[in-house]
Amino acid sequence: MGFRVGQRVMFRDSRMQGLIRSYREQTYWVEIEPGWEIPARQSELIGLGHEHASHSHAPKPEKPPQKAIEKKPDVAPEPRKSPEANPTEISWEKKPSFPKVGRARVGLGKEKPVQKTKKQSSPYPISARGVYELDLHLPALYVQGRMPKREEALKVQLEHVRVFLDWAVGRRCKEVILIHGVGEGKLKEAIWQEYEHRIWLDLEAAPYAEYGIGATRVRLRFSMRGL
């Protein structure tokens, strides 16, 4: 049983969710952000429900009655003393003005420091070509913390790949690099077996001059509707 346009779905083995906007050539186009669509097959999706209307017909809650404000009797103001009556008193009806000193100093105040906005740092390194990379060697993944056992290392590495690809989709990256090394080839084989048939991803060998034979380039397919 297929999905309907407007139905909310989730990608298998991923935390990405979105709404199905169209179905063409046996491919669903899922909008994960406004105007940001990713293709997927039916076998790659899990149905979550339908799009709900944003307007609610529930009656609005009545406002609580306001308490009556008691009016206080009018009291005649005390007569204002003039400066002539007491020469030691100073009338502050008009605030004293101070001359401007410099460009940023007014009166007796101090110059306010200019706050600099901090640049958002990426959790992943970026190459000279501007492509984000994920180093899947265990020492690179576990700079701090416990090193995983041999039998659970592959599972941990694949989880890092999933998180990295989800992050790349949210970042709207056109391509990323997975550095898996050579070794026995089990990690590369597992990555290709898991993602080679995803129609929103294209896997190929990374440039040999930069990475040798120990890396895979992942190209992300998407459609920017209305942008």
Strand partners, 24: 27
How many domains are contained in the chain? Answer: 2
SS3 content of the chain, % helix, strand, coil (to 5): 20, 25, 55
Asked if residue 20 belongs to a domain, the reply is yes
Kindly state whether residue 13 falls inside one of the protein's structural domains: yes
Residue 214 placed within a domain: yes
CATH of the domain at 35: 2.30.30
Q: Is residue 70 part of a domain?
A: no
In a domain, 176, yes or no: yes
List the chain pLDDT tens, one digit each, 227 residues: 588 988 899 888 777 888 988 888 888 888 888 878 888 888 888 888 665 433 333 334 445 445 555 556 566 666 665 555 554 454 545 555 545 544 544 444 555 555 554 555 778 999 988 999 999 998 888 755 667 777 788 998 999 999 999 999 888 899 999 999 998 899 999 999 999 888 889 999 999 999 999 999 999 988 766 44
Q: What is the CATH number of the domain that holds 148?
A: 3.30.1370.110
**Helices of type H across the chain:** 138-141, 150-171, 186-195, 208-211
Residue 104 lies in a domain: no
Decide if 76 is inside a domain.
no
Q: Domain of 36?
A: 7-50
In a domain, 180, yes or no: yes
Q: Are 62 and 17 in contact (CB under 8 A)?
A: no
